[in-house]
Structure 1
């Protein structure tokens, strides 16, 4: 026979309503009583019915993460795991669960969010990418659902967001290549409808303009956040009559594909083509050569975003936008000292 609230109450010497208040984390229950009841719950192996609890408290203690399409691409990228490690550290500490969902296209994504919100299955949402005219953000605004955006909104002001200064980060990466003597610098981009891609492209072009270096459209290739995307980009960008001798790459995982593509085409890194990338995932220093990468504080992005979302749910005052600092981690893939004399 399963253990009930009445069993817990009898063993703890309190009323069933007191046990219910402990489960609901009622502020008027003393720490001593709460500790005693929870010890009895553990002793008897009692697990509260969270669905029933949510009906009473109007909360689910669950946060949703909406995966941008196609989700299988994101799950291949090590950025996601480091980001989610930060999210889970904060949610676990606060006693919240995580629900991940997505869709194969924009319509399915919106349907998923609508179902989660109107079904009362979540207390708030984390959105992993900022897109132009995103219908999900419009819906969440209309429904007054707490959410935090990773990036910056291109359409709304005062959206709660956690971001890097992606313009400055790409500017710093490009300036590093310029300082190494590079004059023909290309850019392997992500999808251009993302705010992050637009900002990093802006930082890249700003650094070129300041140095009086040419911007050539043929040296900029758009792709996805996939190894295969970086691999394919090399066939296009390095077939130019005068190909670039250095590349700023949108993401480390994409950079792995860039290394593979360059090697198959007979280009050496960094002797023929220098590379700077972003995210500084653990594998970046294990490639041959190790990749110079901008560390964007991926773990901190996830931790801070979930912290902001929980504060919003609890109606605490927070800054609407927080920036996580970045730093350039220099390795062999970009260093002039590895070039032939």
Structure 2
């Protein structure tokens, strides 16, 4: 037997409209009445039809979460489950569901977002990346559709609400960490220049070198495509340079972990021969051998704040765009040591 809103109203001795207002948590209903109605709902096993309510209110009570590639590939990187944990925590608190993207290419992502917006399948969207010349972000701006971004927008950032770390500042800091250990031959490994986070981190890296009077060496720049294509070959070529690097700044802990494995095969010791720093402070960075010095970028908080900002925009479309900067922290471990070739 299906329990209806009328059944709940009769048992609680209130009008059906009162039950409806309790479900929507209306401030017009006293806490005493809300408690009684909710107890009756639980006793009778009544579950509100939120889909029908959404149609009536022209709201889906769902937010879209767009990843830079398919969920299959994204979930291979522990960053995404953690940022999604932050998003889902805030969404659950505000009674929003999550609609995950499945597109694996830039065009597929664009088509999926277009369908979400035009079909009104979600009330707003969180982009978990910021791509250079991103047509998806431009579409959302032109459609005046609620969205937030995890990452600094490539352009018009003053018109977009986004949540990010200060990637230039923290990469300058982590590079200076290696410089203070006596390293001058420092490589930047991983990351695609299609994404703003890589551009910002590379700029922070170059800034640290410049201020220390160390020239930037193009040979010490190894991009993500080379690592994905053949990581071992890319690292072997880097370490076989006439003046190989003694320090590596890597884009994330997964890349750092892979590099340590390749270096071990080459009989190059970390940190005795090469020091490595990274980003994200994932669990594997702590349990890697050696454990990896990594920047904790507060992944959960990035997701939580992005969802919080989005829901605020959905509820109040006239809010001015904001930048939320999430603090970072360098976690020192055992992957770095003084450069043995430099007197300290």
Give the TM-score normalised by the residue count of structure 2. 0.93
Indicate the RMSD between aligned Cα atoms, in angstroms: 2.2
The equivalent of 2:150 in structure 1 is 150
- Residue range with higher mean Cα deviation, 309-318 or 100-109: 309-318
Deviations 1:40-92 (A, max 9, x none): 11111111112111012222221211111144332111112221222222222
Contact 2:130 2:152 in 1 (8 A): yes
1:166, distance to aligned residue in structure 2 (A): 0.3
1:140, distance to aligned residue in structure 2 (A): 1.1
5 Å-filtered alignment, 1:76-87, equals 76-87=76-87
5 Å-filtered alignment, 1:215-234, equals 215-223=216-224, 231-234=232-235
Contact 1:223 1:233 in 2 (8 A): no
Contact 1:189 1:201 in 2 (8 A): no
For residues 227 and 254 of structure 2, what CA distance do their matches in structure 1 show? 6
For structure 1, the residue ranges without an aligned partner over 5 or more in a row are none
The equivalent of 1:297 in structure 2 is 298
SS in 2 for 1:262: helix
For residues 64 and 281 of structure 1, what CA distance do their matches in structure 2 show? 25
Closer, same or farther: CA 225–121 of 1 in aligned 2, 3 Å: farther
1:231, distance to aligned residue in structure 2 (A): 4.5
Closer, same or farther: CA 104–190 of 1 in aligned 2, 3 Å: same
For residues 232 and 151 of structure 1, what CA distance do their matches in structure 2 show? 31
The equivalent of 2:333 in structure 1 is 331
5 Å-filtered alignment, 1:22-171, equals 22-156=22-156, 157-171=158-172
1:214, distance to aligned residue in structure 2 (A): 2.5
1:334, distance to aligned residue in structure 2 (A): 1.1
The equivalent of 1:268 in structure 2 is 269
SS in 1 for 2:307: helix
- Residue range with higher mean Cα deviation, 89-98 or 227-236: 227-236
SS in 1 for 2:87: helix
For residues 56 and 116 of structure 1, what CA distance do their matches in structure 2 show? 18
For residues 318 and 144 of structure 1, what CA distance do their matches in structure 2 show? 13
- Residue range with higher mean Cα deviation, 33-42 or 214-223: 33-42
SS in 2 for 1:126: strand
Contact 2:70 2:101 in 1 (8 A): no
For residues 104 and 38 of structure 1, what CA distance do their matches in structure 2 show? 43
SS in 2 for 1:236: helix
- Residue range with higher mean Cα deviation, 105-114 or 34-43: 34-43
Closer, same or farther: CA 285–230 of 1 in aligned 2, 3 Å: farther
Give the TM-score normalised by the residue count of structure 1. 0.93
For residues 135 and 111 of structure 2, what CA distance do their matches in structure 1 show? 11
Contact 1:79 1:298 in 2 (8 A): yes
1:114, distance to aligned residue in structure 2 (A): 1.6
For residues 240 and 76 of structure 1, what CA distance do their matches in structure 2 show? 31
SS in 1 for 2:242: coil
Size of the aligned set, in residue pairs, is 341
The equivalent of 1:4 in structure 2 is 4
For residues 152 and 86 of structure 2, what CA distance do their matches in structure 1 show? 19
Closer, same or farther: CA 252–295 of 1 in aligned 2, 3 Å: same
The equivalent of 1:277 in structure 2 is 278
1:282, distance to aligned residue in structure 2 (A): 1.7
For residues 191 and 233 of structure 2, what CA distance do their matches in structure 1 show? 13
- Residue range with higher mean Cα deviation, 79-88 or 287-296: 79-88
1:224, distance to aligned residue in structure 2 (A): 5.8
